[in-house]
Chains A and B, each alone.
Chain A
Amino acid sequence: MKSLEELRAIRDKARSQVILRENSDNAVRVLVGMATCGIAAGARPVLNALVEEVAKRGLQNVTVTQTGCIGICQFEPVVEIVAPGQEKVTYVKMTPEKAVRVVNDHLVNGNVVTEFTIGANS
């Protein structure tokens, strides 16, 4: 059974490591539209896939979070990538599989997946 003791061990391990955190100015934010329309269209599994893939890749400077309705319900699930000094990228009609590709191509390798963007889908 999972116990608080295990959490303490996780904390102690983290304390013993020198954490090389990226400057938070470099933080990349991944925003998933989680309004009613987005959730009904399948935003939860997309959010889940993003969180898991970001963890798997060990992307320390990426925060995955939710945002409200951005008013383009017909394109849900919608994912926005906001990085400092870069134009916001809006991915539409997302699936968990597409989300994994966005993490690897866009966040890891820096290549926007043009075919999933709103520009290519409207």
Chain B
Amino acid sequence: MRELSLNVMDIAQNSISAGAKLIVIDLCENSDADSLTITVADNGAGMTAEQTALAADPFFTTRKTRRVGLGVPLFKMEAEMTGGGLEITSEKGVGTTVKAKFVPSHVDMIPLGDINSTVLLLITCNEDRDFVFHRRMDLHEFTLDTRELRAVLGDEVKLSSPEVTEWIKGYLTEQTQRIKEESSDEVFRGTSGDKG
């Protein structure tokens, strides 16, 4: 993929196919540790231990339209190319968590790209599911939880209505910019870490 945010879109599709009602996407960047961790967790159908062990194998898929599954193996390979890796934990009937760790300074690192576009499209095209997006850059973070938005909007206004979509888009843009500025200020002043 050209952007890791496209892999996130793809990995989240597995959660959707597994019937998840809640999908949590978490991005955690730590500049001191030179790491980016991307986690997609769902409460979908889950997998048996045997299926979980096979999930990162390109010859495993439960789809019937093609014989090989590419999404998880591709994401895993992209993580490993940077010196990171991918881990899947799953429990039948409970859900699945895919966690990939990247080393951003590595030459083979693929840029994250437009993660906000991925999140916005997942939310607006899946009115029947909830999403939590949490992003952390060093000490700064923000969360978008569609359950909270629904609590305000009630049943009358859909998350996919144009005004709400605009609001979500604006919120993601503003919050991303805020945490980026706050964490780069700290790196500049040399106060990155737990000194606060």
A interface residues, Cβ below 8 angstroms from B: 1-2, 4, 6-8, 10-11, 13-15, 19, 32, 34-37, 39-40, 44, 47-48, 51, 55, 58, 63-66, 68-71, 73
Total number of B residues with any Cβ neighbor in A under 8 Å: 38
Main secondary structure of the interface of A (DSSP, over half): helix
B interface residues, Cβ below 8 angstroms from A: 1, 6, 9-10, 13, 16-17, 63, 65-66, 69-71, 74, 117-118, 121, 124-127, 148-149, 152-154, 156-157, 160-165, 167, 170-171, 174
Excluding A7-B167, A39-B10, A51-B165, 10 further A-B contacts by CB distance (< 8 Å) are: A7-B152, A7-B153, A11-B152, A15-B156, A36-B71, A44-B121, A58-B162, A66-B125, A68-B17, A73-B66
Q: 4 smallest A-B Cβ distances: which pairs?
A: A71-B65, A2-B171, A55-B162, A36-B71
Docked Cα-Cα span, A39 to B121, in Å, equals: 13
Q: How far is the CB of A105 from chain B (nearest CB, A)?
A: 21
Contact A11/B157 with A55-B162, A69-B65, A69-B66 known, Cβ cut-off 8 Å? yes
User: What are 18 pairs between A and B in contact, CB < 8 Å?
Assistant: A2-B174, A4-B148, A7-B153, A10-B167, A11-B156, A14-B157, A14-B161, A37-B70, A44-B9, A44-B121, A47-B121, A48-B117, A58-B162, A63-B160, A64-B124, A66-B16, A68-B13, A71-B66
The number of A-B residue pairs with CB atoms under 8 Å apart is: 91
**Chain B neighbourhood of A39, CB < 8 A:** 1, 6, 9-10, 13
**Chain B neighbourhood of A48, CB < 8 A:** 117, 121
Given A7, A15, A35, A47, which contacts B125 in the complex, CB threshold below 8 Å?
A47
Docked Cα-Cα span, A63 to B126, in Å, equals: 10
